[in-house]
Amino acid sequence: MASKVTSLKLVGLAVTATLISCQLQNEVSVVQLDNGQIEVEVLVKGNKTPCVTDLDIYHTSEGKVIPVWQIYLRDGHRASCISKFTYPNVPRHYSLAGNSRPLKAAEEYEVSVAGPGFIGGKEFTRIKLTSKTP
């Protein structure tokens, strides 16, 4: 009986290891444009256009995670998913979860992304815009 339990545990570990190793390598790029908008792009190694189903921007303050912008791909629109986003615009076929909050200058934020076979994230600091007066 002990050998059956041991083999079941080993099979469970093998399945877990396989799932972890199947995660696709990804890179999350965050750029602040001159107009203040934040551009987030996800690249997945070996996949030209990854399907981002969830994207969250959040701020951590005094140990609390504060959601700033959370969007997700609506059911039935998998063929329409994209990998490049511009905060605060909600792309077609995506929905906003809750209310979005403005990003504050000099505050640190984190972007978290997920899609079939990958998860990723990146920290960034909101840059204060300089006024362009003549």
Q: Is residue 90 assigned to a domain?
A: yes
Identify the residue whose tokens are 């978290």.
112
Query: pLDDT tens across 45-62, in order?
Result: 876 678 999 999 999 888
Q: Give the residue ranges of DSSP H helices in 1-134.
A: 2-21
Q: Is residue 131 assigned to a domain?
A: no
The CA–CA distances, whole Å, from 21 to 14, 16, 18, 37 equal 10, 9, 5, 35
Whether pLDDT at 109 is above 50:
yes
Quote the number of domains for the chain: 1
pLDDT of residue 117: 87
Q: Is residue 5 assigned to a domain?
A: no
Q: Is residue 50 assigned to a domain?
A: yes
Residues for the chain: how many in total? 134
Domain carrying residue 106: 25-125
Q: Is residue 46 assigned to a domain?
A: yes
**pTM to 2 decimal places:** 0.77
Q: Is residue 98 assigned to a domain?
A: yes
Q: Is residue 32 assigned to a domain?
A: yes
